[in-house]
Structure formats: C-alpha cells, structure tokens
Amino acid sequence: MSPDDDMMPVFGRVLTAMVTPMTPDGREVDYAQCARLAAHLVDDLGNDGLIVNGTTGEAPTTTDVEKRQILDAVITAVGDRASIVAGVGTFNTAHSVELAQQAASVGADGLLVVTPYYSRPPVDALEAHFTTVADATELPVMLYDIPHRSGMPIPEDMLIRLVAHPRIRAVKDAKANIVSTSNVLAQTNLAYYAGDDAYLLPLLSVGGVGVVGTSTHFTAAAARTIIDLYRSGRVQEAAMANQQALPAFQGVFATQGCMMVKETLALRGFDVGPCRAPMGVVPDGVAARYAQLLENLGFNA
C-alpha cells in the first residue's frame, strides 16, 4: 500500500488539537492569531486537519459566541485546504446538540464528541447521547474516548453498535488499551486516531489511521513520516522514526499540554497569550527545556 494512495480517512491522517490564542490578559480570544496559527499548522507543518474548540483549545472556558467566532476565523483561514473538526461535546446533551448545529452552520467539516464527563451516565443514556448529537447535523462524527478525563470508557460493544450510525465515522482513542481497540477494529470500519501522540505507532499496528496530536503543533512532520513509513511496509524505519520523535511526543506533557504548547509557541514568536483559569503557567524553565529539545531533534518550524 502506498502512502499516497486514495484511501484517505474521513478527516485526514495528521490532525492537531489546536490551542486557542488569547489576548495578553486572557480575557479575549485573539481571532487574528487564531487564523495565523491555523495557517502555520496547515501550510508550514502540513497538518491535514485541525480540531478546534477541544480540550487543548480550552473549550471549557470559552463561551458559545467565542466558539463560533473561533471556528469562523479558522475556517476562513484554512477551511479550503484542511478538515476543520469542531469540538462540541459537553456533559449536557441539549447543549452539545446546540454546539453541533452551530458548528455546522459555520461550515465545519466534522464534529468531535467526547464522553460526557463528571456525570457518568449509564450505558444506555451514553449511547443515546452520542446518537442524539450525531442526529443533529449531517456532519461526520469523531467520538472521543478518554476515560481518565471523562470518568468512564466507551464500552467496546457500544462502539461496535454505533458504527451502524451513518455519521459516526471515527474515534479519537485516548484509552491506551490496545487490546480493546483491536477488538473494535476487528469488527468495525471506524477510523481510529491516536489521542496521545506517543500512541500513534502502536495504534497503526492494529489498524489505526492517524493522530490527533498535541505535540503536533511542532512535530506534525514526524507523525507524517511515521505514518508514511508504516503504511509503505517499512516498519523498522517507522519504529526508528518513532523512537527519535518520542521525547518530543512525550515531553509536551511534562506539564499540562495546553499550557506547554502555548508557552512554547510564545518562545517561537506566536502571540497566543496565556491559558484561562483554572489553568495556570508553566513552571520556570520547563517550556524552555522543551523548546530546546525540539530544536535538538530538528523540529525548528
């Protein structure tokens, strides 16, 4: 199988969960910088798509009006050459439906729907939540399975059932259970994306298609190389490329990922502002060490 064949997954292969630039005091979203960062990620680093208004985009702290304007800024900047997937998941089904419809009205290409967090609905209610949001628009849906944040995994049998829904097409997999993922992939055609950068190569080995990354604000080229090498059958070279990039994939989480990305971007001349509370600031020297690591590994853009 050639890496440049026409079997491109629904949202592409290399996607970044984009941070949301703020003004220096964090009170306002900087929409011009949203557009600038989106263009950098797509045009300079080669991302196939962007996740907007996700966790890394500080969705819990932005208003619905801000979410709409962020999407509009990003779609205007790069929507003609990248998939723009809107994070719309909340722990309120009605609110998630409203956000889904808003994203569709602005022109998003897809929806990211996380497991409702904190409230831990029973299994039947969880399934109803996903199908209700998927029914709300005509957009393809990526489910976000992240039990260490949501409090519960999406059960395997539910994922297998949900593939029957015409718009549930993909999973952002942050469960870190390769056997569970393998079971679902053996019985569905869901497009599985690594929800943790370092999980990319193991996921490819059981049928995954790509990554929704955090370090890919800087390492998208390495992720692309790993995917292309693996899909070309050059498995040992893919493993070597993964080993080389692994310190960068993991290092972005030396502190909270959104905080680290923002401060590292700032060190590289991007005016992305701070994170809103309850996020804080990166401890002294941590971002500088990560920036130096990126430089040492050749991630200079």
Looking at 31, 67, 118, 144, which residue is catalytic? 144
Under a CB-based contact definition with an 8 Å cutoff, are residues 144 and 129 in contact? no
Cis peptide, bond prior to residue 278, ω within 30 of zero: yes
* Residue 192 annotated in active site: no
The residue assigned the tokens 């900087």 is 30
Tokens of 188: 């569905």
Cβ neighbours of residue 144 under 8 Å, at least 6 residues apart?
89, 112, 113, 114, 115, 171, 172, 174, 195
**Residue 137 region by backbone torsions, left for phi larger than 0, else alpha for psi between -120 and 50, else beta:** beta
Under a CB-based contact definition with an 8 Å cutoff, are residues 11 and 191 in contact? yes
* Residue 290 annotated in active site: no
**Three-state SS letters, 175-220:** CCCHHHHHHHHHHCCCEEEECCHHHHHHHHHCCCCEEEECCHHHHH
Looking at 172, 175, 192, 262, which residue is catalytic? 172
Q: How far apart are CA 117 and CA 112, in angstroms?
A: 14
Backbone angles phi and psi of 30, in degrees to 5: -95, 95
Q: How far apart are CA 9 and CA 193, in angstroms?
A: 10
8-state DSSP, 61: G
Q: How far apart are CA 135 and CA 130, in angstroms?
A: 9
Farthest-apart Cα atoms in the chain, separation: 49
The residue assigned the tokens 């390495």 is 222
Residues forming the active site: 144, 172
